[in-house]
Structure 1
Amino acid sequence: MTEQPSTLYTKLLGETAAITWQELQPFFARGALLMVGGTQDLIAVAQAVAENDQGQVSAWLTSDQLKKIDDDGAADLLARDPPLWAVVVAPWVLVQERRED
């Protein structure tokens, strides 16, 4: 039997959208951006942040699968302007580069 996604997961999925780095720059300036590693499920990470799952979030932070975007990361995103997905989990905006499958 396949496990059904939680209501929160479904809500976050519906609030996820494509966005440009230019649109995200004000959130970067406020220190409110978290980059989600490309191998992670953006929505699952957002759900863990929303549910304050400290153990899982800590593990991702330790392994750099979740990290605050620093100045070098911001400059890279500005230069490359890759396609991005973002979802808000106040006070954070979680962002991930879109994979071209």
Structure 2
Amino acid sequence: MSAVDTQASRHESLLAKLLSETARCEWRDLERFFAQGKVLRVDDAHDLVVIGAAIASDDASTLTPLIDAGELAPPSNDHARRWHAENQLLWTLVVAPYVLVQETRVT
């Protein structure tokens, strides 16, 4: 197996592991992490698991443009207030030390 194949295999394993660790969680259960500055909001245009893998792999080439565009950022106080009022259900993924959150899509 080549180094490229091995790297691709590791990446696929990481994606599978992270996918199995996603969960839906009510915002009120996450507020303490928000208060600690450990919550990052992932814009719903992006795959939560892929972004989690980029964080776990310290992939700056993927993360920097998202951070610069505000598509990966701590939730604003307005988000937190709205999510609290609605007891918003969010997709979550822990990639220590962060809890990644993404609003669930209603279809």
In the superposition, the TM-score normalised over structure 1's length comes to: 0.90
- Aligned partners of 2:61, 2:77: CA distance in 1, in Å? 27
Q: Number of residue pairs matched?
A: 99
- Aligned partners of 1:82, 1:70: CA distance in 2, in Å? 14
Aligned counterpart in structure 2 of residue 39 of structure 1, from 33, 45, 53: 45
**Residue identity matched to 2:28:** Q
Aligned to 2:31: 25
Cα displacement (A) at 1:89: 0.3
1:8 and 2:14 aligned? yes
Moved more, 47-56 or 3-12: 3-12
1:66 and 2:72 aligned? yes
Name structure 2 gaps, 5 residues minimum: 1-7
Aligned to 1:76: 82
Aligned to 1:55: 61
**Secondary structure at 1:86's aligned position in 2?**
strand
Cα displacement (A) at 1:54: 1.0
> What is the identity percentage for the equivalent residue pairs of Structure 1 and Structure 2?
36
Cα displacement (A) at 1:39: 1.0
Aligned counterpart in structure 1 of residue 96 of structure 2, from 53, 74, 90: 90
Aligned alpha-carbon RMSD (Å): 1.6
Cα displacement (A) at 1:38: 0.9
Give the number of the structure whose residues are more often helix, by fraction: 2
- Aligned partners of 2:70, 2:76: CA distance in 1, in Å? 12
Give the structure with higher Rg (CA).
Answer: 2
